[in-house]
Amino acid sequence: MTTPQLEISGLIKRFGGLTALNSVDLSIGQGELVGLIGPNGSGKTTLLNIVSGYYPADGGTIRHSGTSVLGKAPHQLARQGIGRSFQITKLFKRLTVLENMLVAGLSDGTTSRAAATERAMGLLADLRLERLAHERAASLSGGQGKLLEFARVMMLEPEIILLDEPFGGVHPELKRFMHERIAAWNAAGVTIILISHDMGSIFELCARVVTLSYGDIICDGTPDETRNDPAVLDAYLGEQHG
């Protein structure tokens, strides 16, 4: 059996008296596309923030291809192949779209500017942004901003990408295009963890769906299994009152 791409075991996170993650175990293999769902406050973004190095953990381990992730800074993990996006995009607004890409492309300190630019233009073309390469990121629409964040993450040539609510506030046509890109990257071998409230997208894209509720994994299965799991239904109904 091969080592999983990402192996989380016994992960604990507390904020004061509140337990955000209650000994979470999760193993994700290379090339998987996993949906991570759960009601508000269930710990999804907390989990993502720990895996990407933004929060320290209070217990447990996380291994990426066998090496420990905990204790490493976000930039180290980014260079080590764990890329992420943010729920609210964190674009460099006063830099151009291309410069946004180059930050990621040059952060390893060795790639030449010419090589990084070429790669960036290719990715921008993939995401239909090449026309805007020399515009300031501030001038992008919300949806274009989401695409730029995708493109920046891909500049890292990541092994895993963690996408936090990529479809929030995106119109349906663009969402379709994003689905296509996510599926294509996954098909090219990138492991993807997708957090979303958009069940339609999750069930369509992901073969495996993990449900968190109050810091516990309450379901880990196919979309069908998840849909029919009474615990998942309870978790959502308890919060949303139908």
Partner 1 sequence: MTPQRARTLALGVLLAGFAVLPLLLGDYWIYTLTIGFYYAILAASWALLVGYVGRISFAQAAMAGLGGYASALGVQHLGLPPVLGLGLAVLVSGALGLAIGWLTLRLHGAYLGLTTIAFAEILRITATAEYGLTEGSRGLQVAPLLTGGSRTEYYYLLLGVTAGCLVLMGLLLRSRLGLFFQSIREDEDGAASLGVNVTLWKMVAFAISSAFAGLAGGLYGHFVQLITPSMMSLQEMGIVLAMAVIGGFHNVLFAALGGVALQVLLEALRELGEWRLVAFGLVTLLVLRLMPNGIFGAAVATIAARMRRNGGDE
Residues found near partner 1 in the complex (CB under 8 A): 52-54, 73-75, 78-79, 83-86, 90-95, 99, 102-104, 106-109, 113, 152-153, 155-156
Report the nearest approach of partner 1 to the CB of residue 71 (Å).
14
Task: State which residue, 24 or 82, has the beta carbon closest to partner 1.
Answer: 82
Q: In whole angstroms, how close is the CB of 163 to partner 1 at the nearest point?
A: 12
Integer Cα distance of 217 and 36 in angstroms: 10
Choice between 31 and 81, CB closer to partner 1: 81
Report the nearest approach of partner 1 to the CB of residue 59 (Å).
24
Nearer CB in complex with partner 1: 86/167 = 86
Question: Residue 203 Cβ, how far from partner 1 at the closest point, in Å?
Answer: 27
Strands 82-84 and 160-164 turn out to be parallel
Q: Residue 147 or 219: which CB sits closer to partner 1? A: 147
Task: Return the number of the residue (85 or 211) whose C-beta is nearest partner 1.
Answer: 85
Dihedral angle over CA of 14, 41, 81, 10, nearest 10: 40
Measured between alpha carbons, how far is 217 from 84 in angstroms, rounded to an integer?
21
Instruction: In angstroms, give the least distance from the CB of 103 to partner 1.
Output: 4
